[in-house]
Amino acid sequence: MKDLIVQKYGGTSVGSVERIKMVAQRIVHGVDNGKKMIVVVSAMGKRTDELVSMAQAINESPPSRELDVLMATGEQESIALLAMAIQAIGYTVISLTGAQCGIRTSDVHRKARIEGIDTERLERELRAHQVVIVAGFQGIDENDEVTTLGRGGSDTSAVALAAAMRAERCEIYTDVDGVYNADPRVVPGARKIDQISYAEVLEMADLGAGVLHTRSVELAEKYKLPLVVRSSFNENRGTIIKEDVNQMEKVLVRGIALDENIAKISILEVPDKPGIAFRLFTSLAVANIHVDMIVQNVNRTAVNDISFTVNVDELQDAVEVSQKFAFEVGAQKVEFDQGVAKLSVVGTGVVANAEIASKFFESLYELGINILTISTSEIKLSCLIDKDRAKEAMIHIHKKFEM
């Protein structure tokens, strides 16, 4: 749709009655500039956490289906309030829940994936209203069940809507100024990046206070949709994420990323049979567990050790799957370690450039930090290190690369 902008406001941006009123003002600027607006919102501030803690006070492991019914109320609350705020300043507006907006998902509660968007109602409402407010993070499956999209869900909702409606761009409003070349909470000299490619930002998903989630960037890349990340608290320009980024200077290292939210699982003395690793990682995939760095230590005996990292949120499930696997194949035992962190340098050509890898390893050596695991992708070089020393390492490497 021509002149259509999709905006997304996170929980802190709509955290209070006052903030909601301010966001309303920001949204109608778009209307004043002749734009059609779709606005995706998260639940207010800590509302989702409040709901989850009530659920846990009632049931230690609440059923996922009911958790989704519960959590979806958070966004439904904020869309109604934001619509009221926009109506109060004289613009025509309507709110839509995930179901009303036609966001169809898979039937995996708490981790649903968007399968498609029936845009008919959305198009009708956009013709009738200047602004359409949509509940992020939620959808509906083929049985009319309420689903939620898991981590980064509202960003994914926004990007999917922007793609489905062929919006000019998708603007993600948050509490930071954009994507930084290192986490500004950790590295004092961290700088905001003005433009960055999808691929680079994907590898730096944890920069800038975890401002963007992988899923939404992948989706934006697939549809070549320009993404803008900026603060809802000021008028700074933010970071533009798009396909081709003009680089006046050849910058090799775009940023340094630190992920402290991971854990390492090791399965010791796994019998060395063909297909055995495949069997483990298939079980983990079926359980919807995202596995990151994988290391298989081949011993001289007929047994291997298999290690991998997961997000700490998925540690409990991953350990359960691993223990079941270990029991079935006759492995010795399963160990896990939450005291690890993943430190990465990101940028086009970092892996091809031996100098960068050597500088990276040298920095860790200078600090006497042991490297537990190394992994590489086309544009990223990552080391698993001791979590206690990760921030110190990050600051040192940022300096070393003179970013």
Contact residues toward a copy of itself (CB under 8 A) are: 17, 20-21, 51, 54-55, 57-60, 62-63, 65-67, 69-70, 72-73, 76-77, 79-81, 83-85, 87-88, 94-95, 97, 99-100, 144-146
Neighbours of 21 (CB within 10 A): 17
The amino acid present at 349, given as its one-letter code, is G
Alpha carbon distance 264, 308 (integer Å) = 6
The residue among 101 and 193 lying less far from a copy of itself, judged by its C-beta, is 101
Token output for 10 = 């996170």
User: Is 97 annotated to bind ligand?
Assistant: no
Confirm whether residue 180 is marked as ligand binding: yes
Answer yes or no: are the C-beta atoms of 68 and 163 closer than 8 Å.
no
Looking up tokens 């869309």, which residue turns up? Answer: 79
376 is in an annotated binding site: no
Tell the smallest beta-carbon distance from residue 278 to a copy of itself (Å). 35
Is 32 labelled as part of a ligand binding site?
Answer: no
Query: Smallest distance from the beta carbon of 65 to a copy of itself, in angstroms?
Result: 7
Angstrom distance (rounded) from CA 305 to CA 139: 41
Nearest to a copy of itself of 34, 90 (CB atom): 90
| Cβ distance to a copy of itself smaller for residue 99 or 241 | 99
Question: Closest separation between CB of residue 55 and a copy of itself, Å?
Answer: 6
Residue 348, annotated ligand binder?
no
Sign of the Cα pseudo-torsion (354, 361, 335, 49, in order): negative
Min separation Cβ 395 and a copy of itself, Å? 42
Known binding residue 203? Answer is: no
Tell whether residue 91 is among the known ligand binding residues.
Answer: no
Q: Which class for 305: exposed (0-12), middle (13-18), buried (19 or more C-beta within 10 A)?
A: middle
- Residue for token pair 């049985």: 143
Could you tell me whether strands 303-311 and 262-271 are parallel, antiparallel, or unpaired per DSSP bridges?
antiparallel
Residue 45 sits at φ, ψ, to 5 deg, of 35, -115
Residue 75 marked as a ligand binder: yes
CB of 28 to a copy of itself, least distance (A): 14
Residue 337: CB minimum distance to a copy of itself, A: 32
Instruction: Report, in angstroms and rounded to the nearest whole number, the Rg of the chain calculated over CA atoms.
Output: 23
Angle value at C-alpha 203, between 228 and 108, nearest 5 degrees:
85
- What is the smallest separation between the CB atom of 127 and a copy of itself, expressed in angstroms? 15
- On whether 185 is known to bind a ligand per the annotation, the reply is yes
Closest C-alpha among 403, 309, 384 to residue 344: 384
Smallest distance, a copy of itself to C-beta of residue 164, A: 19
Structure tokens at 144: 């009319």
Residue 373 phi, psi (nearest 5):
-150, 150
Residue closer to a copy of itself, measured from CB, 150 or 347: 150
Whichever of 82 and 182 has its CB closer to a copy of itself, that residue is 82
Residue 166 is labelled as binding a ligand: no
| CB nearer a copy of itself, residue 154 or residue 304 | 154
Provide the strand spans (E) within 186-302: 195-197, 227-231, 239-242, 255-259, 262-271, 291-298
User: How far, in Å, are 166, 301, 303 from residue 274 at the CA level?
Assistant: 47, 15, 12
Which tokens go with 265? 């699982």
- Residues at the binding site for ATP are 8-11, 174-175, 180, 185
Residues annotated within a binding site for substrate: 48, 75
Q: Detail the residues annotated as belonging to a binding site.
A: 8-11, 48, 75, 174-175, 180, 185
